[in-house]
Amino acid sequence: MDQLSDEVMAELGFERKAFMDGYNTCPIKAMDKIQNVMAWSQGLAELSVYTQISVTHLINTGASDTAGFRLAMMSNPTKPYPSSTASAQAGQMMSILPVLGMAIKDGKTLTLNEDSPLVKKFKNEAM
């Protein structure tokens, strides 16, 4: 994350310290997904398939919990994921989407943040 300038962070809707505080609370595998999204935002990587499925699900439904993300992955028409994989990935999405500003956490539910620059970018480029 240090490679991104403060200007780029601001364009993505982040204040660096607050973002890093949230990032540092995530499990290692979730940190990898955050790095992937940030690299994607700069045209440096393709989004993880799990992130694509989850963000598409969140945009289509407006809100989700772990079970909703898990079901979206298990129901993926291109490649349905087994329950164990889907469960692990869903848990990571519950951690990363609020840190990325793409969702607002309310208890055990995430609600889409329509104002997020990353959500807007995803809608324009990945859907």
CATH number at residue 76: 1.10.10
Cα distance between residue 89 and residue 54, in whole Å: 9
Q: Does residue 77 register a pLDDT over 90? A: yes
Structural domains of the chain, count: 1
- Work out the pLDDT band at 3, boundaries 50, 70, 90: confident
The beta strands (E) that lie in 9-102 are given as 63-64
Please give the pLDDT value at position 1.
Answer: 62
| Residue recorded with tokens 């949230």 | 22
User: CB-hemisphere CA count at 13 Å for 116?
Assistant: 21
Is residue 103 assigned to a domain?
yes
Is residue 1 assigned to a domain?
no
Is residue 39 assigned to a domain?
yes
Is residue 88 assigned to a domain?
yes
Question: What's the domain range around 77?
Answer: 6-125
- Integer-rounded Cα radius of gyration of the chain: 14
Q: Nearest Cα to 97, choosing from 30, 42, 41?
A: 30
Percentage of residues of the chain with pLDDT beyond 70: 98
Is residue 80 assigned to a domain?
yes
Is residue 38 assigned to a domain?
yes
Q: Does residue 97 register a pLDDT over 90? A: yes
pLDDT digits (tens, 9 = 90+) for 23-54: 999 999 999 999 999 999 999 999 999 999 99
Classify 62 in phi/psi space as left (phi over 0), alpha (psi -120 to 50) or beta.
left
Q: Nearest Cα to 58, choosing from 124, 6, 109, 3?
A: 109
